[in-house]
Structure 1
Amino acid sequence: MTTIAILVGTESGNAQMVAECLEDELGRQGHTVEVIADPDPDSAALESREIVLICTSTHGSGELPDNIIPLYEGLQESRPDLSHIRYGVIALGDQTYTDTFCNAGKLMDRLFGELGAGKVGERLEIDACTQPLPDEEALAWAAEWLEQL
C-alpha cells in the first residue's frame, strides 16, 4: 500500500472536510495517510515524501487560503527539487468567479510542476455552485488517481 501526505489549504473548512474524508476512505483501503492542515516547508517535509495530494480551496478573488501560504511562499523562495514526488491536486472553487475559478489549486499545481514533481492524472476542480457535497466527487476521483500511481 501507499503512504500519502494530503496538504490542505482551507478557509471555511470544506477542503479540510474533503481531506479528512479521503483520509478515512484511503485508510480503510490500507493506505497510510497523513493530513497536514497547516502546511509549511517544515511540516510538509517534502524531502521525505513520495506521494502528495494537494487539497485546496480558493479564497477571495483567486487567492491561496491563509494556512497554505507559508508552504507556497517557502517553496517559491527555496525552489527545492521535488522530482522524487508524484502528486495530484483537488481544487475547490466557485465558478461565478470565472477568471479565478480554482486558482489556488492551479497555483499549487503549477508550482509543484515547476519544481520537478510528477503530476499523476488530471487536476480535479470542484465547483461549489454545482457540487454541494465535494467529498463524494473527491472520493470517486481519488479511486481513479490511486490506480494511476
Structure 2
Amino acid sequence: MPAIPGRYRHAVVPHLMIDGAAEAMAFYATAFGAEEIMRIARPDGRILHAEIRIQDSVLMVGDGDGAFRTPREAGGTTVGLHVYVDDVDTLYRRAVAAGAESLQPPTDMFYGDRTVMLKDPFGHVWVFLTQVEELSPEEVAQRGNDLLQGLQ
C-alpha cells in the first residue's frame, strides 16, 4: 500500500507568503526535511520567489508583498497545508524539536490516515499524513457521517 494516495500525488501548488521567507525555508529544512529547489532574492535578501520540496510535494515560498499578506499581517491563516509523508511520527518529533507548535499529536483518523497538525513559527498550519488504511472516497464519507451521527 502506498504511503501517499494516488489522488493526492499531483495537487495544487501553494505559494506561502511569509514575513521572513529565508528564515522560514531554513526552519522547513530542519523541521520538515524540506529541500530547496530554487531561490530568487532581492539584493536586501527578501525572497521574491523560491521553491521547496517536502518528499514529493513542491511548495512556493516568498516574502509577503502587495496583495499577498502573511498570516501575521492577516491575523491568522485561512489555509491548512496537507502533505503526505512516509513517516508522520518521525516528522512530528523532528518538527516539534525544531520549534513547531503541536496542535494535534500523531493520531489514527477515521479516514485511514495517521495525522498530525503543527503550526510553524511563521503562522502557517500544516497537516502531515501517512496513509495506514486504503479507503475509497465513499468509505471515508460513510465513516465521517457515522462519526458525526454518533456525536448527536
Q: Does the alignment reach a TM-score above 0.5?
A: no
**Structure ranking higher in strand proportion:** 2
Q: TM-score, normalised by structure 1?
A: 0.31
Larger radius of gyration: 2
TM-score normalised to structure 2 length: 0.30
More helix by share: 1
